[in-house]
Amino acid sequence: MEYKFATRAIHAGQQADEATGAVMTPIYQTSTYKQESPGEHKGFEYSRGTNPTRQALEHCIASLENAKYGLAFASGMAATDCVLRLLNAGDEVITGDDLYGGSYRIFTKVYQQLGIVFKFVDTSDVEAIRNAISDRTKLIWVETPTNPTLKLADIQGIGRLTKDTGICFAVDNTFASPYLQNPLDYGADLVMHSVTKYIGGHSDVVMGALVTNDRQLYDQLWFYYNACGGTPGPQDAFLVLRGIKTLHLRMQAHCENARVIAEVLNRHPKIARVYWPGLPTHPGHELAKRQMRGFGGMISIVIKDADLTETFRIASNFKVFTLAESLGGVESLINHPATMTHGSIPKETREKAGVVDNLLRLSVGIEDVEDLIADLEAALR
Ligand code: P1T
């Protein structure tokens, strides 16, 4: 029987512990496993490659993405790195012109140095992607919604371009979470998550994940996962297993709070622009309605006529929102992308993508929305 999302969030990959009956997956705090004779063991040899707590989590995340295979990493960047290791010098990657700063950094400062070519295009335009494809294209890497300007990419449209071409189409699904969007169902080959964000949900773990239905791709990724060893420990896997049980409830609350806040900000005289896919004026709104189950908890705003000093003043003026990098936890965060999360992107490049000095990004938490609105209004005053 195929269980529904909430049931899988709570149970997938987890059974009562065989040895003791413990209902919660134990934290298997062990680096190694006894073998009866060399090679004769219970499926676990060494925890860099396999660990039961981590494996339970990998099955759970895979299940929530309607995937057969899942791999957990010590961070979202370690997961991204594992994918990039599949490439060789001369290969081309097509990716977005609005990206998490750390993704831009690993592309341009690590892998470009090794001879891999990155083409940055507007991934909300399927034609722009089509035009960028060459016979050297090996990977298309798309964030949707993008960080931080919340642009949407048509997953099905891109999936049609890459089907049967040998090009790997990967979606960074961090901003949506598996509750709001399942890219594999629309033709993506691979999904990456910064588990640090909504999946973990409590700002207490840094972790990443990859999921796929492609056995060959999984085997290739597993090789680097184990060979390079960027895998997380069992304590962190346990914390995420705990957090993920409420993913569906948290996402509903994030989306609802964000809706109310986006509408308030949209009418606010000090706000020049609100980026949130749920607003009918958002260019990706109709697409969001088709490929997402909700519009998410991330909102970006441009403060009217504010210079850097004024923007900093506002960003430092919150009491309930915390000024910090990251997103997706139960608590509301505010971030100044230009100098914080996207500081590694050259000014001209980021400004072209809309990441201007007076843009602030809100990760709307699940506190009482009236307190959040009062906090925003006071800070803007
Ligand atoms: O931080 P880490 O778990 O390594 O994940 C990297 C990452 C990848 N992809 C997206 C879309 C992300 O947003 C991130 C991390 N982002 C932040 C820390 C941030 O505040 O935007």
Structure confidence by residue, pLDDT tens digits, 184-200: 999 999 999 999 999 99
Per-residue pLDDT tens over the stretch 291-313: 999 999 999 999 999 999 999 99
Which pLDDT score is estimated for 327? 98
Of 100, 104, 198, 275, which residue is the catalytic one? Answer: 100
Of 48, 85, 130, 293, which residue is the catalytic one? Answer: 48
Q: Extract the residue ranges of the chain whose pLDDT is less than 50.
A: none
319 noted as active-site residue: no
Which pLDDT score is estimated for 167? 98
Q: Up-side HSE of residue 215: CA atoms within 13 Å toward CB?
A: 0
What's the gap in Å between 334 CA and the centre of ligand 1? 14
8 noted as active-site residue: no
Which pLDDT score is estimated for 1? 64
What ligand 1 atom has the least distance to the C-alpha of 175? Answer: 11
Give the type of residue at 16.
A
- Two tokens, residue 256: 């609802």
Q: Up-side HSE of residue 300: CA atoms within 13 Å toward CB?
A: 25
What's the gap in Å between 329 CA and the centre of ligand 1? 13
Q: How far apart are CA 106 and CA 249, in angstroms?
A: 33
Q: Is the dihedral of CA 240, 245, 250, 255 positive or negative?
A: positive
Residues with CB under 6 A from ligand 1: 75-77, 100, 102-103, 143, 147, 172, 174-175, 194, 196, 206, 208, 325-327, 335, 341
Which pLDDT score is estimated for 51? 98
Which residue has a Cα nearest atom 19 of ligand 1?
326
Q: How far apart are CA 33 and CA 31, in angstroms?
A: 7
Q: How far apart are CA 113 and CA 37, in angstroms?
A: 45
91 noted as active-site residue: no
What's the gap in Å between 179 CA and the centre of ligand 1? 18
Contact predicate 65/8, CB 8 Å: no
The residue whose two tokens read 């809100």 is 362
198 noted as active-site residue: no
Report the alpha-carbon angle 369-259-372, nearest 5.
Answer: 25
Which residue has a Cα nearest atom 18 of ligand 1?
326
